[in-house]
């Protein structure tokens, strides 16, 4: 049909009409809130590059999680900041580690909240890399056992889902086998399957205190120029037992989300990372754009590209907006 018989603008004449034909909808159910937990009590350390976010002690973490639940956000992702670090990341898999304690208290307080735990060693190593070092190289195979021990300790603490973000080859299989052998076959794995070596992680490095003391992560995280490799990585993790896969970052990698959505049937999560968050907040502060509107447009774009769920630092703000829309 051609103009004037067909006029697409007819269905854009009111907000109600636009809602009726909207192809992509965003809901609080789609959101996962990342949280940073630190030792101590009454701690709420501001993260300068991530306005509204903090390093939280467990008591304050629970308050934020309660608020998230009240807004309909179904899940949080925990990142731990330990009291000490060493070359073997021993606090990552310690029974009394910060993530283990936080997970236990969250599940006891908010039993319906889905607690997802980041499984990586970079926060816990004194060198800041995501695995065991052999000289100045991360030893892939020597790291697998420690990752599996970390995931198991999280499951024992009550985690509903573990999320390996290290990008070591074979880690999903190692974690799945370890969980199953120890009676945690129902603990799901949300794998960072397509995690790129991105400059968008800058604010996160400060928030989680994970800056590497030397070198970079290019030998284990993906080259931003590659797309077909992402499909290979995702396929490998699914074959090894992943239940959900993550694409990270999200906004600069919408094409990757779309390609993977065309290839797989498993749920896809996209991580709207710290740099993407910080840029919008900074531009809004400068008056260069309407940060609130850009937030909603960004999250909708990620969902439109094919993501089933979005890890985002905008989760609380977006959920509050969605609640207001529903009540109008």
The reported pLDDT for the residue numbered 326 is 62
Where are the chain's structural domains? 25-327
Asked whether the predicted pLDDT for residue 328 surpasses 80, the reply is no
The reported pLDDT for the residue numbered 181 is 98
Q: Read off the pLDDT of each residue in 206-224 and give the average, rounded to a whole number.
A: 80
Longest dimension (CA), the chain: 71
> For the range 89-95, what are the long-range contacts, defined as Cβ-Cβ under 8 Å and sequence gap of 24 or more?
89/121, 89/124, 89/125, 89/146, 89/150, 90/124, 91/124, 92/120, 92/121, 92/123, 92/124, 92/146, 92/149, 92/150, 92/153, 93/146, 93/149, 93/150, 93/152, 93/153, 94/153, 95/153, 95/156
CATH for 25-327, options being 3.40.50.1820, 3.30.2080.10, 3.20.20.70, 1.10.3720.10: 3.20.20.70
pLDDT tens, 235-263?
999 999 999 999 999 999 999 999 999 99
Question: Cα angle at 38 between 34 and 43, to 5 degrees?
Answer: 105
Asked whether the predicted pLDDT for residue 294 surpasses 90, the reply is yes
Residue-wise burial string across 165-185, b where 16 or more C-beta atoms lie within 10 A, e elsewhere: bbbbeebbbbbbebbeeeebe
Q: Which residues are designated catalytic?
A: 195, 248
The reported pLDDT for the residue numbered 204 is 83
Could you give the CA distance from residue 328 to residue 324 in angstroms, rounded to a whole number?
Answer: 6
Q: What 8-state DSSP symbol labels residue 218?
A: T
DSSP string covering 270-308, please?
Answer: EEE-HHHHHHHHHHHHTTSS-HHHHHHHHHHHHHHHT-S
Tell me the pLDDT band of 281, cut-offs 50, 70 and 90.
Answer: very high
Q: Which residue has the higher pLDDT, 252 or 206?
A: 252
Asked whether the predicted pLDDT for residue 156 surpasses 90, the reply is yes
pLDDT tens, 90-125?
999 999 999 999 999 999 999 999 999 999 999 999
């Amino acid at each position: 049909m051609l103009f004037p018989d067909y006029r697409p603008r007819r269905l854009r004449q009111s907000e109600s009409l636009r809602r009726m034909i909207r192809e992509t909808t965003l809901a609080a159910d789609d959101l996962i809130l990342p949280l940073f937990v630190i030792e101590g009590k009454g701690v709420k350390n501001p993260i300068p590059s991530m306005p509204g976010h903090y390093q939280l002690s467990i008591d304050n973490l629970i308050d934020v999680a309660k608020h998230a639940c009240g807004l309909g956000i179904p899940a949080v992702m925990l990142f731990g900041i330990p009291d000490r670090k060493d070359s073997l990341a021993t606090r990552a898999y310690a029974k009394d580690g910060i993530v283990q304690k936080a997970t236990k208290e969250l599940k006891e307080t908010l039993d319906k909240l889905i607690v997802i735990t980041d499984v990586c060693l970079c926060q816990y190593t004194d060198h800041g890399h995501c695995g065991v070092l052999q000289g100045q190289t991360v030893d892939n195979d020597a790291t697998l056992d420690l990752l599996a021990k970390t995931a198991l300790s999280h499951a024992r603490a009550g985690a509903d889902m573990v999320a390996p973000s290290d990008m070591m080859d074979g880690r999903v299989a190692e974690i799945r086998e370890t969980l199953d052998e120890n009676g945690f076959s129902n603990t799901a794995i949300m794998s960072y399957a397509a995690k790129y070596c991105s400059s968008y992680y800058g604010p996160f490095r400060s928030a989680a205190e994970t800056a590497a003391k030397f070198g970079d992560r290019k030998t284990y995280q993906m080259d931003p120029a590659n797309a077909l490799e992402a499909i290979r990585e995702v396929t490998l993790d699914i074959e090894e037992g992943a239940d959900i896969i993550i694409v990270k970052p999200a906004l600069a990698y919408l094409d990757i989300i779309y390609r993977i959505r065309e290839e797989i049937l498993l749920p896809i999560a996209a991580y709207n990372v710290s740099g993407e968050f910080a840029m919008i907040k900074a531009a809004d502060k400068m008056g260069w754009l309407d940060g609130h509107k850009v937030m909603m447009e960004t999250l909708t774009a990620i969902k439109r590209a094919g993501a089933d769920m979005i890890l985002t630092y905008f989760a609380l703000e977006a959920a509050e907006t969605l609640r207001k829309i529903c009540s109008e």
